[in-house]
Amino acid sequence: MTTDFNAELEARLIRYCKIDSQSDADSPSSPSTAIQLDMQKLLMSELKEIGAQEITLTDYGVVLATIPASEGVTAPTVGLSAHVDTAPQFNAAGVKPVVHRSYNGGDITFADAPELTLSPENAPYLGTKQGHDIITASGTTLLGADDKSGVAIIMTAARQLLANPSLPRPRLRLAFTPDEEIGRGVHPDLPRDLGADFAYTFDGGEVGNIECESFSADGAKVTIEGVSIHPGTAKDTMVNALHLAARIIMGLPHVSMTPDTTEGRDGFIMVTELNGNAATAELTFILRDFELDGLAAKSALLQSVCEAVQLGEPRAHITCEISPQYRNMRYWLEQDMTPVNLAHQAAKAIGLTPRSEPIRGGTDGSRLTELGVPCPNIFTGMQELHGPLEWISVQDMNVATQMCLKLAELAVRP
C-alpha cells in the first residue's frame, strides 16, 4: 500500500491553485462567484475518475460524493470537508505556484516580487521545515492553499481508499464547499444533504493541530447618509459622509481591540471595507470573540459609537445592522467529544503529539457543528494565509493525508 503521497499532493495542489476561485461577499448568489464552479466541475470529474459514488452538485454549489463502507462494516457515517474558494482580500487571479525543492532553511524569494522575502525570522514554523518541499506563489498573488490543500488531502485519501477496498473504513461523505471565506460555506440544507453523524474539516495549520474551539462571529454594516451639496456653497450645509465614517472608525479602541493588537483569547472589531463618497458611505466590520457575552459587548460598543456620531450630527442618518455569522464550535463539541477524541487517537497512532488550541478564526466546521453535525478542524500545514507570503510544505500535507486515512480506519472500531 502506498504511504508516500508527496507527488500526488504536489500535483493536485498546483493544479487546484492555478484555478481562480475567489468568493465575493458583495454577491447575493450561491455560490457567490461563478468561477468557483470551475473548481467544482473539475472535482466532479476527478471523483468520477477515482470511482466515488453519489457525486452531486447541489443547487447551492456544494459537491458531494460517497466512499462506501468496507464490506461488513457497521459504523457511523463520517464527513470529510474542505472549501474551494480563496480569500477575497488579496489577488488570486493568475496564481503561479512555485516549488522550492528540499528547502535549505534560509530566505525564500519571489520571482514576480523581488522585494518580498519569506524567512524563518518572520515565519518561525518555516524554520522547522528544512529538507521539505515548500510551495509558494510567485509574489503577486496568494497561493490558495487555504483551502485547496484540504481539497488535495481529501481527494488523495479518497483515491487511496477507493483503490484499496480492503482498507477498513466507514461510509464516508465528502463535501467540497464554496464561499467559506465569506462565512457562507454551510447552507442550511448541507447537514441534511451531507448525512454524516460527525465530520472533519481539513482547513487548519500546523501539523498536530486539532481545533475544537473557534471564535464566535458577527458581521456589521454601517450605512451613512450625509448631506450633499456643491462644495462652493457648502458652508453650514454639507455633511460629509466620509468624515463621519472616519469618526466612527476612530471612535473604536485601537490599542486593545483590533486584530493587530490582540492575541490568544482576545476578541476584536475590524473594519474590513469603506466604500462611498461625500454623500453616502458604507462601512463593513467583522466582530470576533470566543464568548457570546464578549461578542454581544462588541456589537453594543459599535452601535454606541454609531449613535454618538449620529447625535453629534443630527442632519445625517446612520444605521448599524449586526448579522450573525458563526458560533464557537466548543459550545456543542463539549457535549459530545467523540470526534475530537477520535482525532486525538488518530494523531497519536501516526506518531504525532496532538494539540487542541482555540483557533482565532472559524471554519465551515463551526457552522456545521452549530447545525447538528459535530465537526472539529484538522491541520493541513498551510501558513501565512491570505497574502503573497502564503506557503505550505508538501510533506506536511502528506502527514495530513495519513491522518485522514487513520481517522477512517479508527472510525470502524468499536
- Encoded amino acid at 256, one letter: S
What is the chain's alpha carbon radius of gyration, rounded to the nearest angstrom? 23
Determine the Cα–Cα distance for residues 380 and 355; give it in Å rounded to an integer.
Answer: 14
C-alpha 283/C-alpha 273 separation (Å) is: 6
Q: Please tell me what DSSP assigns to residue 68.
A: P
Identity (one letter) of the amino acid at 31? P
User: Of these residues, 46, 180, 181, 211, which one is catalytic?
Assistant: 180
Confirm if 99 and 193 have CB atoms less than 8 A apart: no
CA distance 227 to 119: 50
Asked if 325 and 362 count as a contact pair (C-beta separation under 8 A), the reply is: yes
Residue indicated by cell numbers 495549520? 205
Select from 272, 263, 277 the least CA-distant residue to 231: 277
* Catalytic-role residue among 20, 46, 85, 289: 85
- Strands 317-326 and 108-109 come out as unpaired
Q: Let me know if 289 is a catalytic residue.
A: no
| Strand intervals (E) in 183-334 | 198-204, 210-211, 216-225, 268-276, 280-289, 317-326
- Whether 85 is catalytic: yes
CA distance 208 to 398: 13
Look at residues 369, 352, 358 and name the one whose alpha carbon lies nearest to residue 200: 369
199 near 374, Cβ under 8 Å?
A: yes
CB neighbour list of residue 255: distance below 8 Å, 6 or more residues apart? 261
Catalytic positions are 85, 180
